[in-house]
C-alpha cells in the first residue's frame, strides 16, 4: 500500500489571447492584483494559424502569450482561479463578446494542466464545476502531446517555453524546499 505524502506546489501560468495589446496589458495588471508578481512573460505568437474558432467573437488577428507567476500554488486552487479569470473575461467583454481569453493552468514536474469549464471524456473534475485537462506530459527530457492536446501546445515554440518554465520551477521548489 502506498502512503500519502505532501503534494508539491505547482507553477501557475495563464495563456492570454487578445487582439489589442492594450487589453493584454490591462489584463496583466488585474491578474497581478490576484496572483502576485509576474515572473515571466512569453513572446507573442499568432494564434489564428491554429484555428478561426474565436474570429466571430474576438475578430481576426488573435495573438497569445503566457504569463507565469512567481508564487507557487496548491493544485486545488485551479478551479477557483478559472472562475476568477472567467469573471475578468466578462468584465472586459463588450456586448457579450470577449476582448481577451484567459486560460489558466499549472505546470508540475510531470505535466501541464489547463482548467476548463467544458466537460470532455479525457478531462477530470477539479471541483466547482471545472475540469482539469492534462495537455502535455513530461517524458525523457521533452513534453509529449496526445490527440486531444490543443494545436498551439503541440508546437516547438510553446513546448520549449514551457520547458524553460519547468526548469525554473524545479529550481524554485528546491530553493524553497516545497
**Residue 178 pLDDT greater than 90, yes or no:** no
CA diameter of the chain = 55
Report how far residue 1's alpha carbon sits from residue 12's, in angstroms, rounded to the nearest whole number: 31
* More confident call, 147 vs 158: 158
pLDDT band of 16, cuts 50, 70, 90? very high
**What domains can be seen in the chain, in order of their start residue?**
10-176 (3.30.70)
Here the cell at position 66 is 503566457
**Residue 177 pLDDT greater than 90, yes or no:** no
Element (H, E) at 138: strand 130-139
How much of the chain exceeds pLDDT 70, in percent? 100
| pLDDT per residue as tens digits for the range 99-127 | 999 999 999 999 999 999 999 999 999 99
Amino acid at each position: 500500500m502506498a502512503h500519502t505524502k505532501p503534494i508539491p506546489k505547482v507553477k501557475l501560468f495563464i495563456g492570454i489571447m487578445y487582439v489589442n495589446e492594450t487589453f493584454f496589458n490591462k489584463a496583466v495588471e488585474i491578474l497581478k492584483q490576484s496572483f502576485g508578481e509576474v515572473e515571466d512573460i512569453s513572446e507573442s505568437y499568432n494564434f489564428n494559424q491554429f484555428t478561426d474558432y474565436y474570429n466571430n467573437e474576438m475578430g481576426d488577428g488573435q495573438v497569445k502569450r503566457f504569463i507565469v507567476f512567481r508564487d507557487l500554488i496548491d493544485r486545488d486552487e485551479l478551479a477557483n482561479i478559472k472562475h476568477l479569470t472567467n469573471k475578468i473575461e466578462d468584465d472586459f467583454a463588450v456586448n457579450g463578446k470577449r476582448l481577451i481569453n484567459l486560460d489558466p493552468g499549472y505546470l508540475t514536474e510531470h505535466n501541464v494542466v489547463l482548467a476548463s469549464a467544458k466537460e470532455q471524456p479525457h478531462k477530470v473534475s477539479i471541483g466547482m464545476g471545472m475540469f482539469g485537462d492534462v495537455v502535455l506530459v513530461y517524458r525523457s527530457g521533452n513534453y509529449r502531446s496526445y490527440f486531444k492536446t490543443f494545436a498551439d501546445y503541440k508546437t516547438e515554440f510553446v513546448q520549449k517555453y514551457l520547458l524553460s518554465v519547468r526548469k525554473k520551477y524545479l529550481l524554485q521548489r528546491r530553493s524553497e524546499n516545497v
